[in-house]
Amino acid sequence: MPDSLLELRARINAFVQERDWEQFHSPKNLAMAMIVEAAEVVEHFQWATEAESKDLTPEKREQVAHELADTFVYLLRIAEVSGIDLIAAANAKIDLNARKYPVEKARGRNDKYTAYEN
Tell me the per-residue pLDDT of 2-12, one tens digit each, with 9 for 90 and over. 789 999 999 99
Give residue 110's pLDDT: 87
Give residue 31's pLDDT: 98
Tell me the per-residue pLDDT of 61-117, one tens digit each, with 9 for 90 and over. 999 999 999 999 999 999 999 999 999 999 999 999 999 999 998 899 888 877 766
CATH 1.10.287.1080 range(s) for the chain read: 1-83
In this structure, CATH architecture of domain 1-83? Orthogonal Bundle (1.10)
* Cβ-defined contacts of 69-73 (< 8 Å, 24+): 70/37, 70/40, 71/34, 71/37, 71/38, 71/41, 73/12
pTM assigned to the model: 0.87
CA distance 71 to 34: 5
Give residue 115's pLDDT: 76
